[in-house]
Amino acid sequence: MKFDVLTLFPEQIKTNICESITGRAVKKGVISLNAVNIRDFCTNSYGKIDDTVYGGGTGLLIYSEPVYNCWKSLFEKEEDRPYTVYVSPKGSVLNQKKAIELSKKKRVCIICGHYEGIDSRVIDTICDEEISIGDYVLTGGELAACVIIDSVSRMIDGVLPNEDAFTNESHMGGVLEAPSYTMPSNWNGMAVPDVLLSGNDAAIEEHRRIASLVETWVKRPDMLDKIEVTESEWQKMLAMRRTL
Ligand code: ADE
């Protein structure tokens, strides 16, 4: 999977992504990262990238032309055109389903705005989709681009040690992951549920399934509205919750 990021701050992207798990994936060549500086595509000699907004208002807006030229420089043939995303607080909010969808693309280009953003005409011309990482406003799109790259990368083959690492976790299947524990089995008077020490795989799996439903019920009850919970599961959840 290839990521291109069009930004005024390529180092911010590289510093974030070329660390830890995503950094190793870049080194192994499982993902590639091409962070390009929009400023290098300025059409004026003095490197001016932005101007005031027509109609008034505060802040500066990045011109269409350098963004368009930067994006066009990524590919020659139409078939190599990357799936192009503009990150902005106006986009649809990123979730696990969207991250999975993006992980199936061969090449994703993320365009980051700064200041007041980018002239809307170039966004309408080249972007397939606008994505936000939450209902709040950041100073620029760079952190949002990194969040998208991170959440998408971890679902690409070879990034995590095995597929289990991302299939059995929160937001996959519409529920949160069950609580997890490590040594010691009793810490500060809090004991790990006996079943997890039993070695009985079937019982452990059943415990985790119900514990995951309880976790969701306690922390994100809104998520339970979107999945089917049977009467028998509710009974087991109630029983487990009474023991907490
Ligand atoms: N740029 C500024 N705020 C943003 C947000 N919430 N999501 C994505 N990009 C942004």
For residues 242 and 13, what is the distance between their CA atoms, to the nearest angstrom?
Answer: 46
Task: Measure 233 CA to ligand 1 centroid, in angstroms.
Answer: 39
Task: Measure 86 CA to ligand 1 centroid, in angstroms.
Answer: 9
For residues 197 and 191, what is the distance between their CA atoms, to the nearest angstrom?
Answer: 11
Averaged pLDDT, 154-164: 88
Which amino acid is it at 164? Answer: D
Query: Which residue out of 7, 133, 148 has the highest number of ligand 1 atoms within 8 Å of its CB and is therefore the one to mutate?
Result: 133
pLDDT given at position 161: 86
pLDDT given at position 164: 64
For residues 152 and 140, what is the distance between their CA atoms, to the nearest angstrom?
Answer: 20
pLDDT band for position 184 (cuts 50, 70, 90): very high
pLDDT band for position 172 (cuts 50, 70, 90): confident
Residues enclosing ligand 1, CB less than 6 A?
A: 87-89, 132-134, 136-138, 141, 144
pLDDT given at position 170: 81
Write down the mean pLDDT value for the chain.
96
For residues 96 and 154, what is the distance between their CA atoms, to the nearest angstrom?
Answer: 11
Query: Which residue out of 138, 143, 151 has the highest number of ligand 1 atoms within 8 Å of its CB and is therefore the one to mutate?
Result: 138
Total residue count of the chain as it appears in this document? 244
For residues 243 and 227, what is the distance between their CA atoms, to the nearest angstrom?
Answer: 24
Task: Measure 116 CA to ligand 1 centroid, in angstroms.
Answer: 11
Render pLDDT for 20-71 as a digit per residue (tens, 0 to 9).
Answer: 999 999 999 999 999 999 999 998 988 899 999 999 989 999 999 999 999 9
Half-sphere exposure of 198 (CA within 13 A, CB side): 12
The 3-state DSSP class for residue 52 equals: strand
**Of 72-76, 102-106, 108-112, 166-170, the least confident:** 166-170
Higher pLDDT among residues 204 and 172, named by residue = 204
**CA-based nearest residue to 236, from 220, 219, 204, 214:** 214
Averaged pLDDT, 177-186: 97
pLDDT given at position 132: 98
Task: Measure 3 CA to ligand 1 centroid, in angstroms.
Answer: 18
Question: Is 165's pLDDT higher than 70?
Answer: no
Render pLDDT for 203-229 as a digit per residue (tens, 0 to 9).
Answer: 999 999 999 999 999 999 999 999 999
Nearest residue (by CA) to ligand 1, atom 2, is 138
Task: Measure 237 CA to ligand 1 centroid, in angstroms.
Answer: 37
pLDDT given at position 214: 98
Averaged pLDDT, 225-235: 97
Question: Is 168's pLDDT higher than 80?
Answer: no
**CA-based nearest residue to 92, from 140, 120, 133:** 133
Task: Measure 93 CA to ligand 1 centroid, in angstroms.
Answer: 10
Return the bridge partners of 34, or none: 4
> Which atom of ligand 1 is nearest to 88's Cα?
9
**Under 8 Å between Cβ of 42 and 73:** no
Task: Measure 52 CA to ligand 1 centroid, in angstroms.
Answer: 20
Nearest residue (by CA) to ligand 1, atom 5, is 89
Nearest residue (by CA) to ligand 1, atom 9, is 88
Half-sphere exposure of 46 (CA within 13 A, CB side): 2
Task: Measure 144 CA to ligand 1 centroid, in angstroms.
Answer: 6
Averaged pLDDT, 155-160: 96
Percent of the chain with pLDDT over 70: 99
Residue 11, token pair as written in the block: 């180092």
**Under 8 Å between Cβ of 93 and 132:** yes
Nearest residue (by CA) to ligand 1, atom 10, is 88
